[in-house]
Each structure stands twice: as structure tokens, then as C-alpha cells.
Amino acid sequence: MYVMNGAGNRFAIFDARGRSFAMTADLARRVGASGGPLGEKGADQIIVLLDPPIADGSAQLYMDIWNNDGGHVDACGNATRCAAWLYMRESGQDSMAIQTAADLLHASRAGDLSVAVDMGKPRLEWQDIPLKEAMHTHHIDVKVGPIDNPVLSNPGAVNMGNPHCVFFVDDIAAIDIKRLGPMLEYYPLFPEQANIGFAQKLAEDHIRLRVWERGAGLTLACGTGACAAVVAGVRQHRLSRMCRVDVDGGRLGIHWRGTDDHVIMTGPVELEHEGEMAL
């Protein structure tokens, strides 16, 4: 078992390759809980590394992802970097691929403790987010506050393997994310709930971002959220395709390539602990 973080986003990672092991919602809640086996910080997500379901060489790992509320999810960008780093340390390789429920993701070493991941193309159609109603996703119909003078409005919607709703705000410090996040996560427009991002533009290529993650709450970083924020910002003509994204736990580099529309995320990883855990 490994405890790692990617820009502060903390994971308990279990290597179950070649073993008979199945994570459950109850076990994920117990492992991830604050004050549980991982101490006061707990874990934002619980990751299980498995052998690829199809042994054709296209992927070296399958990554199974659980939130600390017991929810099963399809994608996690920061966890992908951590899992890729573990495999590359083990194998001595500088690149590899991870299969998730959302997609096949290719990763490469970007430094001793830095990994770049090709997160693939963002999904931008309303039914792919998904939303309950047909609408353009550059700006979706979500408002907070009085209808004629909302506090928050016109977010962008992006699916990066999981659904994101991104608001651009003037002052991120003035936003009560712990109050608004849970309400917006379950907004009726989102049939599968959504991760809620709050982004402040610092420059055309630089934003400050905080994300309320569905099933995990306010985390120090959200890799798919950083990707979604840059995509949403480009679509709203706010940002350039290559951006620095400052999160509570560090900095991520996001590049939404114009050549193939793939989103490349580069960021740090940290190994906090490795050992065994009695389950």
C-alpha cells in the first residue's frame, strides 16, 4: 500500500495485481476517513491497481478509483500521475499507459517527481457531461443568488472522464466554497452530480483554481478539474490553450493542444509512505 499525493490531492493506493482483492464502498469509506488508518488527513480517493483486463500490451495497469464517501468514479488526473510514477519507478521505463473506466491514458516522466498525462479529448456535448437538458455547454444555465443579480452565473461544463462545472470569479477568496460546493454538486441539472470549479483569472495563461469534488469535498488539487477549467476558459475566450493552474497544493501545467484537442496535464507527485495495511 502506498500513500501519495499529486499537488496535495491525497491517495491510498493498493497494488492488487495478481491478487484476489475487491474494494468495497464501506472499505473505501473506512480507509479514506479523517482520523482513520491514514491519520487525520485521511485520503481524498482510494486507488486499486489491477492487471489490465485485456492483455494486449496497450495498457500496463488498470486503475480502479473510489472517492472517500464510497462512490465509484471513472477518472482522477492526479491519481493517474501517481500510479504512473509508481509503475515507471518499478519498471525503469519513461512512459506507460493506464486503463481507467473512462479512457486509456498515456503518461510519461517529466522529471524525477513530475509526470505528464495525456488526458484525451474533453467531451463537450450536453449529453456527454451529462446534463438533464439540451443546451450549449460554453455557458450553462446555473445561477446562484437573485435572478437579476446572481452571485455566480454562466459556468462552463466539461467532461474530462467525469463531469465538471466551472465558474470564473473575480475574487476566489470571497467565495464560500464549503457552503456553495455541496449545493451545486447536486444541482438538478446534473444527473450524476458534478465537480464544481471556481477559477480566478490572473493572466491569459495563469489561473487560481479551487474545486469542490463530488464525493470528496474541497481538495487541495483536482487534476481533471484543472483540465476542465482551462478548456472552459478557452471556450469562453478567457484563456490561452497553455496555462499554469495554481491549486491549494501546488501548481499544474495544462495544455489543450490545438493539433488534436488532447489535454496534457503535467504536475508533481509525492510518495508519503509505503508499507502494508491490515484490511
> Residue 277 — pLDDT band, cuts 50, 70, 90?
confident
| Rounded CA separation 78/266 (Å) | 9
Q: pLDDT per residue over 82-132, tens digit each?
A: 999 999 999 999 999 999 998 999 999 999 999 999 999 999 999 999 999
- The structure's pTM equals 0.93
Q: Answer positive or negative: Cα dihedral of 263, 48, 178, 267.
A: negative
Domains in the chain with CATH codes: 2-118+269-274 (3.10.310.10), 126-261 (3.10.310.10)
For the chain, percent of residues with pLDDT exceeding 90: 91
**Beta pairing, strands 263-268 & 114-118:** antiparallel
Residue showing cell 438533464: 132
Query: Over the chain, what is the mean pLDDT?
Result: 95
2 pLDDT exceeds 90?
yes
How far CA 202 is from CA of 156, 172, 197, 218, 252, in Å, comes to 18, 11, 16, 21, 15
Of 165, 222, 227, 243, the active-site residue reads 222
Assess whether 222 carries a catalytic annotation: yes
Of 76, 82, 227, 243, the active-site residue reads 76
Assess whether 165 carries a catalytic annotation: no
